[in-house]
């Protein structure tokens, strides 16, 4: 299967390898930062929780496999805050890069953050790789203590993946979801790849795949934007994504789907392609037409080698990813 990994690419993992023990009092909990507006979905996945600070939820024990989360705080500890300088010194002694999560005593917290090394918050230029430097997260718990996690699941501040956007060519901003998914996967199509885009109208994902050098089979019953359909390596097929069979299409390097359908229908399509062996790389949006279907989410996550994530650019939807390239 043809594709390429950006130099220095980083792949998200559920729990990175343990590092040296961090000074401080272990909390015996894990922190989970919910996507904005989806704390209830996260709490439904977690079950029992210990504390909730706006979108930041703490649950007992080690990290659990959840999808409705933008950043996981691994092995958080409690540190004393005797003074602004001592707290900053404690954090600097653990590692260099820290992101402050707003909570209690924000004025005091900002004074501490101001004494930590400055981090650039420049948007990423796609297809540049994700940052590789460790990034910790912390918050003030009280006037005299803070909670800090030196290890987090996202290399982006609070899991917010921001890009330098293209505001002229893509017909909608949905292309940002594919940019983010490919960045987090650390792998993407390249010249010579064959990619299929299901539910492609009006063409944002097709444009992304084409710009990366792939030949794109773009499938939707609705038409593409004319300037996308006219791209030289786009094979637009005006039909239902569910009317195609793997044997009819043949081998493809990437199957991408942002099609609007119930999760069960997408799951049947995905399993058909996985079982066919004709594609190894998948990025598919799971869209919820009503209440969140946690059972369907678990079915997607059970497919070997795959994971289900909530991208920063997702709404009431999740993204299923199986990337082998």
Residue 7: per-residue pLDDT: 38
pLDDT tens per residue across span 181-199: 999 999 999 999 999 999 9
Which tops the pLDDT comparison, 193 or 103? 193
Tokens in use for 79?
A: 């540190």
The torsion angles phi and psi of 315, rounded to 5 degrees, stand at -115, -125
Q: How confident is the model at residue 8 (pLDDT cuts 50, 70, 90)?
A: very low
Model pLDDT for residues 261-306, shown as the tens digit of each residue = 999 999 999 999 999 999 999 999 999 989 999 999 999 999 999 9
pTM of the entire predicted model: 0.92
pLDDT band at 239 (very low <50, low <70, confident <90, very high): very high
Burial call 87-99: b when 16+ CB within 10 Å, e when fewer: bbebbeebbebbb
* Residue 24 pLDDT greater than 60, yes or no: yes
* Rounded distance between C-alpha atoms, residue 270 and residue 304, angstroms: 12
What whole-number distance in Å separates Cα of residue 159 and Cα of residue 189? Answer: 24
In which band, very low, low, confident or very high, does the pLDDT at 103 lie, cut at 50, 70 and 90? confident
Of 291, 293, 234, 248, nearest in space to 266 by CA? 293
Range 25-159 classified under CATH 3.30.2130 = yes
- What does the pLDDT read at residue 119? 82
CB-based contacts of 286: which residues, under 8 Å, 6+ apart?
Answer: 263, 266, 296, 297, 300, 308, 317, 318, 319, 320
What pLDDT sits at residue 17?
Answer: 47
Residue 153 has pLDDT above 90, yes or no: yes
Q: State the fold for domain 175-322.
A: Rossmann fold (3.40.50)
Of the pLDDT bands very low, low, confident and very high (cuts 50, 70, 90), residue 21 is: low
Beta strand spans in the chain (E): 25-26, 29-33, 51-53, 56-60, 71-74, 77-80, 98-100, 136-142, 145-149, 151-152, 194-198, 215-219, 234-237, 254-257, 281-287, 307-309, 317-322
Per-residue pLDDT reduced to its tens digit, 123-144: 999 999 999 989 999 999 999 9
Q: Please, what is the angle between helix 294-301 and helix 39-46, to 10°?
A: 70
Confidence band (pLDDT; 50, 70, 90) for 104? Answer: confident
- Write down the pLDDT at residue 325: 64
Percentage with pLDDT > 90 across the chain? 88
pLDDT in tens, 46-95: 999 999 999 999 999 999 999 999 999 999 999 999 999 999 999 999 99
Structural domain spans, the chain: 25-159, 175-322
Q: What is the pLDDT of residue 289?
A: 87
Kindly list the catalytic residues: 287
- 7, 127 Cβ separation under 8 angstroms: no
* Nearest CA among 73, 35, 99, 95 for reference residue 152: 73
């Amino acid at each position: 299967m043809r594709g390429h990994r950006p130099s220095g690419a980083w792949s998200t993992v559920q729990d990175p390898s343990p590092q040296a023990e961090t000074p401080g009092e272990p909390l015996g909990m894990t922190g989970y930062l919910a996507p904005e507006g989806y704390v209830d979905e996260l709490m439904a996945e977690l079950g029992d929780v210990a504390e909730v600070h706006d979108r930041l939820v703490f649950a007992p024990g080690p990290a659990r496999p959840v999808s409705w989360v933008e950043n996981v705080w691994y092995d958080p500890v409690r540190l004393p805050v005797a003074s602004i300088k001592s707290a900053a010194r404690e954090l600097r002694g653990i590692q260099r890069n820290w992101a402050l999560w707003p909570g209690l005593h924000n004025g005091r917290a900002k004074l501490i953050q101001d004494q930590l090394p400055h981090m650039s918050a420049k948007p990423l230029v796609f297809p540049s790789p994700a940052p590789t430097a460790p990034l910790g997260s912390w918050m003030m718990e009280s006037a005299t203590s803070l909670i800090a996690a030196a290890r987090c699941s996202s290399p982006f501040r609070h899991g917010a993946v921001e890009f330098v956007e293209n505001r002229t060519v893509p017909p909608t901003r949905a292309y940002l979801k594919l940019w983010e998914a490919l960045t987090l996967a650390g792998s993407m199509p390249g010249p010579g790849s064959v990619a299929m885009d299901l539910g492609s109208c009006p063409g944002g994902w097709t444009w992304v795949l084409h710009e990366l050098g792939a030949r794109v089979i773009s499938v939707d019953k609705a038409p593409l934007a004319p300037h996308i359909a006219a791209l030289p390596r786009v094979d637009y097929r005006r039909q239902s994504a569910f009317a195609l069979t793997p044997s009819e299409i043949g081998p493809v390097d990437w199957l991408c789907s942002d099609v609007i359908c119930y999760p069960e229908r997408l799951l049947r399509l995905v399993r058909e392609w996985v079982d066919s062996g004709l594609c190894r790389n998948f990025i598919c949006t799971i869209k919820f037409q009503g209440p969140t279907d946690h059972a369907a989410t678990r079915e997607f996550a059970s497919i070997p080698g795959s994971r289900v994530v909530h991208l920063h650019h997702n709404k009431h939807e999740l993204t299923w990813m199986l990337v082998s390239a």
